[in-house]
Amino acid sequence: MSKPVSLNVADQKLDLTVKYGTIGPSVVDIAKLYAQTGMFTYDPGFTSTASCESKITYIDGDEGVLLYRGYPIDQLAEHGDFLETCYLLLYGELPTPAQRTDFNYRVTRHTMVHEQMMRFFQGFRRDAHPMSVMVASVGALSAFYHDSTDIADENQRMIASMRMIAKFPTLAAMAYKYSIGQPFVYPQNDLDYTSNFLRMCFAVPCEEYKVNPVLSRALDRIFILHADHEQNASTSTVRLAGSSGANPFACIAAGVACLWGPAHGGANEAALKMLQEIGTVDKIPHYIARAKDKNDPFRLMGFGHRVYKNYDPRAKIMQKTTHEVLNELGIKDDPLLDVAMELERIALSDSYFIEKKLYPNIDFYSGITLKAMGFPTSMFTALFALARTVGWIAQWKEMIEDPGQKIGRPRQLYTGAPQRDYIPTHMR
Ligand code: ACO
């Protein structure tokens, strides 16, 4: 138990309530601070601020721990599957066999998208980035499914959630097919979630497509690893958008937009590009030197994390999955993997990275794996978004169902001009 916290402001002593979680740091409740002192707190980047109370995901960045509803990520990745993880994140418990069958059925029957969406897709340029297509098409779901946009109706919330989990793979596969000029492949509902997605991406009407179970299992595991990650930038974006009462499709589209950035979900694409740019093991010292140079904006992509100051537990599983996939595909010598492993070895023994606690994050190995599976670099972040959709929905649902929920509205430290009078144009 930590001691009560008091704060001295001028002559005033304020006793602040401390709230305790199940595990992890407790929080100081400052909700009444402004009313009592006329002051805000200042925490750019929210490095010390808990924005909400949540029961979904727990991270201990120092120990490299990630739990979904209390279950360690490695156990879920090894023994579970993605749809079971979706159920767990949404409902808080692992499903019984009957719940599992029912949930899989409910998701599966929503995999098709409104036929009119094919026309919507035709409006995009063929060279559009898949993430731009995803931002637009997920947002557009609210135009196609306005019978599930009433957030006050529990049933509509549930249907919207099922629709997004089910339709995201279809939309992502459509974005890919569109970019390479191939016909869209309709979902096939007797396949499991991930096999269905692989088929929608890689099947063509003129040939039989057989799903490789090793690749399907590997991709399913990648989806599990990406399913949720507590109050990261995109999840906080979804919560903030949802706090105004915006419909769930619009909120998830906001999350997709935020995820796109290279400091967040876009890092997997950036990490692979960096490995390609480095190219050979002998060039690594040059790039390590650049990463350490304060005057050079270059950073080792796929290294470092706001929360993990230890090896990202997802990166360990990802590394194993990379080897499994390359082995299955008979890729014995992948120069990118050689560069990645050597880069990791050097960085982990370099004092700069050790002192700053910069370890490989999940994005470091995911790009090599997805590339080997046949996905172009531009699809990497779309795959991340596909998997994270359930986390966004679970967090959004938790917020909407909280009776104390209010609109998110951060304050600021204003450093602009004080009040001044308007000067007519001719007098300036
Ligand atoms: N390469 C070199 N130096 C780095 C790196 C890196 N990848 N990451 C952080 N540093 C250095 C910073 O320059 C800074 O040094 P300083 O203290 O001397 O100024 C120090 O480490 C702390 O870095 P911050 O940027 O302050 O840490 P923050 O927590 O804000 O950033 C972030 C975390 C954005 C992930 C950062 O490590 C980064 O840009 N990494 C590369 C991009 C990446 O891989 N992102 C994926 C994140 S995981 C995900 O979203 C799924």
Catalytic residue among 305, 312, 350, 402: 305
| Average per-residue pLDDT for the chain | 94
Q: Band of the pLDDT at 266, cuts 50, 70, 90?
A: confident
Choice between 404 and 80, residue whose per-residue pLDDT is larger: 80
Q: What is the pLDDT of residue 240?
A: 98
Residue 5: φ, ψ to 5°:
-105, 130
Helix (H, G, I), strand (E, B) or coil at 162: helix
Output 321 or 263, whichever has higher pLDDT.
321
| Measured distance CA(79)–CA(228) in Å, rounded | 17
Looking at per-residue pLDDT, the higher value among 128 and 311 belongs to: 128
Tokens linked to 31: 């909700």
Residue 10 has pLDDT above 90, yes or no: no
pLDDT, tens digit (0-9, with 9 covering 90-100), for 211-260:
999 999 999 999 999 999 999 999 999 999 999 999 999 999 999 999 99
For 147-179, what is each residue's pLDDT tens digit?
Answer: 999 999 999 999 999 999 999 999 999 999 999
Question: Could you tell me if 169 and 193 are in contact, meaning their C-beta atoms sit under 8 angstroms apart?
Answer: yes
What is residue 163's predicted lDDT score, i.e. its pLDDT?
Answer: 97
Helix/strand/coil for 303:
strand
Is 363 considered catalytic here? yes
Which of ligand 1's atoms lies nearest the C-alpha of 312?
48
**CA separation (Å) from 98 to 94, 101, 103, 104, 189?**
11, 5, 9, 10, 19
**CA–CA separation, 157 and 145 (whole Å):** 12
> Is 70 exceeded by the pLDDT of residue 68?
yes
Assigned token pair, 361:
């994050």
Summarize the confidence of residues 263-273 as an average pLDDT: 87
pLDDT score recorded for residue 418: 97
DSSP structural state of residue 3: P
The residue contributing the CA closest to ligand 1 atom 34 is: 263
* DSSP code, position 283: G
For residue 313, report the distance from its CA to the centre of ligand 1, in Å: 17
Q: What residue ranges line ligand 1, CB within 6 angstroms? A: 263-265, 267, 291, 299-306, 356, 358, 361-363
**Does residue 129 have an active-site annotation?**
no
Which ligand 1 atom is nearest residue 271's CA? 44
In percent, the amount of the chain with pLDDT more than 70 equals 99
How much is the average pLDDT of 304-314? 89
**Side chain identity at 312, as an amino acid letter?**
D
Does pLDDT of 1 surpass 70? no
The answer to whether 228 touches 395, Cβ cutoff 8 Å, is yes
Rounded mean pLDDT of 266-281? 90
Cβ pair 36, 283 in contact under 8 A: no
CA dist 227 to 43, 147, 406, Å? 27, 26, 26
What pTM did the predictor assign? 0.92
- Residues 6 or more apart whose Cβ sits within 8 Å of residue 245: 151, 407
Q: Enter the tokens of residue 412.
A: 């600021």
136 three-class SS? helix
pLDDT digits (tens, 9 = 90+) for 104-150: 999 999 999 999 999 999 999 999 999 999 999 999 999 999 999 99
pLDDT (0 to 100) of residue 332: 81
Stretch 345-351: mean pLDDT: 91
